[in-house]
Structure 1
Amino acid sequence: MSPRSAGASRGRTAQVRIAGVPVRFRASWFLVSGAIVLLFGPQVQRIFPELGVLAYVVALGYAGLLLLSVLAHELAHALAARSFGWPATEIELNIWGGHTEYLAHRATPVKSLAVSLAGPAANLVIAGLGWYFSELFEVTGVTALLVEVTVLVNFMVGVFNLLPGLPLDGGRIVESVVWGATGSQDRGMRAAGWGGRVVVVLLLSGLAALVISGLREVSLVVVVVAVMVSFFLWQGASENIRVANARLRRPS
């Protein structure tokens, strides 16, 4: 998800430091990991019946790969911000993925754009490297499955975060472009917030079309997750619009 400026958050359960940046885990992240194990354990058992209960250990590997993918995304944001002299105060991982908090001094559209692109770029690079090495070494079995998951997860995280609306990284890209064109970061934020609302409408419309048409079976889990994510995106987009409008109404 997109970076945000430093601020307090609650409900944290664990903390480590990576590359000098505090990384905090909310309890909700562990709930996500448990859900992944329960959902994908039976799937792994069907693919590799000889594994038995060890299939759930492989499913735990799915959760670990998602964790590393999100962490790589957020660390890329933090290190990009640091390269501009913007200290990263923390990375938080939660049910929605994660976010990076940093202090942006003398921000410009170009610098903001670079920091926003760093996260998705890291995931797409990992996906590309995973695909390349899987083709090079012809891995098989459980290893091949985990490599495939690594490629797929990083590709999806990278592409999804490039959608053009806040609170996704693509929204920061929209903000930077409008900011550069108008000279107003607040106008950029408002435009990106509306972009986020459009993204939500398109996502839900696409999901509804699939369910109604019946051309492709859509599981209840996918529907629930999509609705939850859409709600989160709508809330984030609306908050950015509210903040931008409040700033634009201030006397100059």
Structure 2
Amino acid sequence: MASRSGITLARIAGTPIRFQYSWFLVTAAIVVLFGPQVSRIFPEIGLGAYAVALGYALLLMLSVLAHELAHALSARVFGWPSTEIELNLWGGHTQFVAHDATPGKSLAVSLAGPAANLVIAGVGWALIQALEPTAVVGLLAEVTVLVNLLVGLFNLLPGNPLDGGRLVESVVWQITGDQGRGMLAAGWAGRAVVGLLVGFVMWQVFLAGPQTNLVLVVVATMICFFLWQGAGESIRIARARLRRSAEEGISDRLRG
């Protein structure tokens, strides 16, 4: 089923899986960027190198989908129904209705995604060691491990909108008893993460000099922009919640 922002290609456990059109642009970019690299590694397969690069994109899709399904399934454990899983330019997003949320439940659902990727990476690495696959199969197996490791670790960075931001939010929420304060702290932590990433990218640029990988710089810049926006949205929502709570508190005192 198509919509203005994407297309629903499947349902898993009743939850629609929607692909934004930007996801197909990501797939095309991966094929174009990595096809020549695969061709240099395996010149004998000719244009088949682009099919292998498409395999990269499919593995990324499956890794992100596993991540989001882990969120959805762990939310169901707490009775929180998932309404949609979306794959987009920045990875994915799971929407669910959280009833009677607590810091512990929120943290468990958030960390389930990275945990799933790290488990896949660990199992994949163990299978590579045991089976020792070679050629294209070996390459795709290594890509599976690397992609899941990167997705898992990156999402553990402690700041919104990443899953690790929920750790900051939950700790502050538990201490203060106010989720809004937790969201505010996680938003500012997210901006701090962006600052560190920008510093790392600049260090890489100056270190590499003329050999700078422009593709890496562009991708990193886009990621930083996305994270900054997400962190800013978290701060905006948190401030609105805190302002509303303060106004309700004043109203209650006036009525009292």
In which range does the TM-score fall when normalised by the shorter chain?
over 0.9
**Structure 2: distance between partners of 1:85 and 1:15:** 25
| Contact 2:8/2:16 (8 A) holds in 1 | no
Residue 14 of structure 2 corresponds to 20
How far 1:173 sits from its partner (Å)?
A: 1.4
Q: Normalized against structure 2, the TM-score is what?
A: 0.93
Q: What secondary structure, in the 3-state scheme, does the structure 2 residue paired with 1:163 have? A: coil
Residue 177 of structure 1 corresponds to 171
1:33 corresponds, among 17, 27, 46, to 27
| Contact 1:210/1:216 (8 A) holds in 2 | no
After superposition, the CA RMSD in angstroms is 1.3
**Structure 1: distance between partners of 2:94 and 2:167:** 16
1:52 corresponds, among 34, 46, 52, to 46
How far 1:10 sits from its partner (Å)?
A: 5.3
2:147 corresponds, among 130, 149, 153, to 153
| Contact 2:156/2:162 (8 A) holds in 1 | yes
Whichever residue aligns with residue 44 of structure 1, its letter is V
Flag structure 1 segments of 5+ consecutive residues without an equivalent: 1-8
Q: Normalized against structure 1, the TM-score is what?
A: 0.94
- The alignment-based identity, stated in percent, is 68
Per-residue CA shift, 1:196-235, capped at 9, x if unaligned? Answer: 0000010011100111123794311111111111111101
List 4+ stretches of structure 1 deviating above 6 A.
Answer: none
| Contact 2:159/2:231 (8 A) holds in 1 | yes
Which one has the bigger helix percentage?
Answer: 2
Segment of structure 1 superposing worse, 213-222 or 49-58:
213-222
**Structure 1: distance between partners of 2:29 and 2:208:** 26
Q: What secondary structure, in the 3-state scheme, does the structure 1 residue paired with 2:46 have? A: helix
Q: What secondary structure, in the 3-state scheme, does the structure 2 residue paired with 1:153 have? A: helix
Residue 186 of structure 1 corresponds to 180
Q: Does 1:201 align with 2:195?
A: yes
Larger RCO (CA under 8 A, 6+ residues apart): 1
Whichever residue aligns with residue 112 of structure 1, its letter is S
Residue 101 of structure 2 corresponds to 107
| Contact 1:177/1:188 (8 A) holds in 2 | yes
Flag structure 2 segments of 5+ consecutive residues without an equivalent: 250-256
Higher Cα Rg, which structure: 2
**Structure 1: distance between partners of 2:129 and 2:52:** 22
C-alpha change, 1:216 and 1:99, in structure 2 (3 Å) is: farther
**Structure 1: distance between partners of 2:240 and 2:44:** 60
Per-residue CA shift, 1:167-211, capped at 9, x if unaligned? Answer: 000011111111111111000000000010000010011100111
